[in-house]
Amino acid sequence: MTFTLSIDVGGSGIKAMVLNERCESVSERSRRETPYPCPPELFLQIVSELVADQPLFDRVSVGFPAIVRNGHIYRATAYSRAVKSGPRDPELFALWNGFPLQDRISELVKVPALVINDADMQGCAVVTGVGMEFVVTLGTGVGTGVFNNGHLLPHMELSHGSFAGTNIDIALGDAQRKVIGNKEWRPLVTKALIDFDAMFFPDKMFVGGGNAKLLREEDLIPGCEIVPNTAGLIGGVRAWELAI
């Protein structure tokens, strides 16, 4: 049996767990608070600490909040900030942009590694493999993933388009939610779901991430369902099938 160390990287916390081929956990979840600033070498140190908490595994999957192309990190919005929800730090942005995270993690843990976007990895846990399926994650920022007949499409930062005078990533992000409150935030989520539906006409839409639990049934649109935040870890197993 193949065991996968799954790492879910977020703007608030970095979590890890070992799962078997049936996507069942075989260890307790480990978690570290996301430090700010968090340059690549500090991030790799945190990964080492998480690995030390876990039993043996055969491969590792990482869901990282950025554009990931061929295991390299680009436009790491959250990790390019010296303080949480703060402005972009040019030095941190440069350190992360193009960083070969997949190769570095594989070298660190001595097993094959797969690094993809965190919303894409969450989607790997829940998609049915039928038709066009769209994933939205609500956390520190907003992530998206698109699947067609069970195949993960190249990652696109779809939450960065114009929306409500800014963009979806900022308007629905956790910092703005705390400013305007859940009562004002929920209708914005509904509007964003309507806009995504109009643009992509998905057969199914999934909403996950840490803030999805704040939504009510009436905040969703037809064909949309909330998925547990644990999908960010569980998706690490199916990612080896759907994302390669």
Q: What is the pLDDT of residues 94-111, one digit of tens each?
A: 999 999 999 999 999 999
Residue 100 has what DSSP assignment? Answer: -
Rounded mean pLDDT, 85-96: 95
Q: In this predicted structure, what is the pLDDT of residue 85?
A: 86
Secondary structure class of 118 (helix, strand, coil): helix
What domains sit in the chain, N to C, each tagged with a CATH number? 4-119+233-242 (3.30.420.40), 128-227 (3.30.420.40)
pLDDT digits (tens, 9 = 90+) for 123-138: 999 999 999 999 999 9
Which tens digit of pLDDT belongs to each residue from 56-66?
999 999 999 99
- Quote the CA–CA distance of 241 and 190 in Å, as a whole number: 32
What was the pLDDT predicted at 229?
86
pLDDT score recorded for residue 161? 87
Mean pLDDT of 181-185: 98
pLDDT digits (tens, 9 = 90+) for 145-172: 999 999 999 999 999 989 989 999 999 9
Q: Are strands 30-33 and 13-19 parallel, antiparallel or unpaired?
A: antiparallel
- The helix/strand/coil state of 39 is coil
Distance CA 235, CA 27 (A): 16
C-alpha 121/C-alpha 116 separation (Å) is 7
* φ/ψ of residue 9, rounded to 5: -100, 120
d(CA 59, CA 197): 35
Query: Using CA atoms, how far apart are residues 136 and 227, in angstroms rounded to an integer?
Result: 10
Whether 202 and 145 have beta carbons less than 8 Å apart is answered as: no
pLDDT digits (tens, 9 = 90+) for 5-60: 999 999 999 999 999 999 999 999 999 999 999 999 999 999 999 999 999 999 99
Cis peptide bond prior to 37, omega within 30° of 0: yes
Strands (E), 81-215: 113-117, 132-138, 142-148, 151-152, 162-163, 166-167, 204-208
pLDDT at 94: 98
Confidence band, pLDDT 50/70/90 cuts, at residue 194:
very high
How many CB atoms are closer than 10 A to CB 217?
Answer: 8
Distance CA 113, CA 47 (A): 12
Report the alpha-carbon distance of residue 146 to residue 232 in Å, rounded: 15
The residues pairing with 136 across neighbouring beta strands, listed in sequence order, are 144, 207
What is the rounded distance in angstroms from the CA atom of residue 71 to the CA atom of residue 115? 5
